[in-house]
Structure formats: structure tokens, C-alpha cells
Amino acid sequence: MKLTNAWNRLVYRLWSPIYDGLFDRFFASPGRKRALQVLNLQPGERVFLVGVGTGADLPLLPAGVEAVGIDLSPDMLSKARLRLPLPDRLVTLVQGDAQLPLVAPASFEAAVLNLILSVAPDGAACLRETLRALKPGGRLVIFDKFAPERSSLSPVRRLLNQVTLLFGTDITRRFSDLAAGSTFRVLHAEPSLLRGAYRIMLIEK
């Protein structure tokens, strides 16, 4: 099985009523918070939230920023809209495919890819389009799970991936494969959840 947009729309329609309470609150929230700390957004900056989902990142944005969030799932976006408006933050939410050019190039100072590179059917395209949206010198923070770089994928991981794909996520992707052909500089990298199975990276265009 491979991830597709059609499958993800279905899966995240089912996830949307329980995602925040079941997954984000008890698992992903610390990683999201740390990622936004690492990004260190400043008042007046525009930030691109790719795969904004239920909007769990929105309350973490500091006052004075302008944000555009996109997501494939209308059901997840409906949850995100319930978080708005937010005081002193201008937020626009748009339904769209993160693998396609949805915004003008070089129009954001910062971007967030939290738990989306392992979800989008073409994670490499998602990364490329996010970088395209950044101004030269713009910053991108990534919080996601990636397969180890220096070892082959184990049969157990490949088998388990057939299960996780049913839930809308791929655990066999290496960041180096997704980043092939893209130009950027890694400013910071640190292990995150599950003893480093999840990572946080800050990169500069």
C-alpha cells in the first residue's frame, strides 16, 4: 500500500474528532512546542504552516505574527477554525495540497513542517514547495519521524509500516531521501520523541 491524497482525506476524516485528545495531547504536544521554540518566530514575520491539521500549532504562535495554514483535509481544517480568532495573530486557513505550489514564491520568513513529511504521499515535493515559499535566508522547522540514515530498513519496520500506512503515516522515509535535490543549510538538529525516532531540525534556505 502507498499513501494517496484520497486515502489521507478518508483517514483524517476519521482522525479529526479524536486527534487532539488522543494523539496530540498525550504524545505530539511536547515535540510541537519544542519545534516552535527552535523556530523562534519574531513579531512581524509571516509563517507558513504546512499540514496545519487541527491547528495544534496555532496557539503556540507568538503575538504579532501572520500565519497561513494549509491542509488537505477539510475535516481537520474545520477543527483548526474552531481555534480562531487568536489575539494579536492574523491567521488564514486554506484547504490545499502541500505537494503543489499554493502560495507565491519567497513570501514567508518562516515555515513549519510538523508531522507532515511522513504523511504527504510525496514528502519530497512537500519539502520542495515549502522551501520555494520561503524568502532567501528563511527558516524552516521540521518535527517528524524518520528512518535511521545509516542502516537498512529492517523487515520488522517494513512490516509495521504496512500497518501505519493504514493510519495515514509512513515510518520508512529517510530525511536525506526527501531532501535530495533541495538546497538548504541545517542550523540545528536534535532528537525528540521515542528516543530519537522523531527529530526536530531547523534549516535555512
Other Cβ atoms within 10 Å of 26 Cβ, number: 10
The grid coordinates listed for 23 are: 494523539
**75/16 Cα distance (integer angstroms):** 6
Q: What are the residues facing 203 on neighbouring strands?
A: 140, 186
Quote the CA–CA distance of 72 and 51 in Å, as a whole number.
7
Predicted TM-score (pTM) of this structure = 0.95
**Residue 187: predicted pLDDT:** 98
48-89 tens-digit pLDDT: 999 999 999 999 999 999 999 999 999 999 999 999 999 999
pLDDT band at residue 116 under the 50/70/90 scheme: very high
Q: What are the grid coordinates assigned to 177, written together? A: 531521501
Host domain of residue 144: 5-204
C-alpha dist (Å) from residue 113 to 21, 110, 136, 143, 158: 21, 10, 18, 6, 24
Does position 40 have pLDDT exceeding 90, yes or no? yes
Going by pLDDT thresholds of 50, 70 and 90, the confidence category of residue 27 is confident
Domain count, the chain: 1
CATH number of the domain that 166 lies in?
Answer: 3.40.50.150
Q: How many CB atoms lie within 10 A of CB 166?
A: 11
- What is the pLDDT at residue 47? 98
Residue 151: pLDDT above 90? no
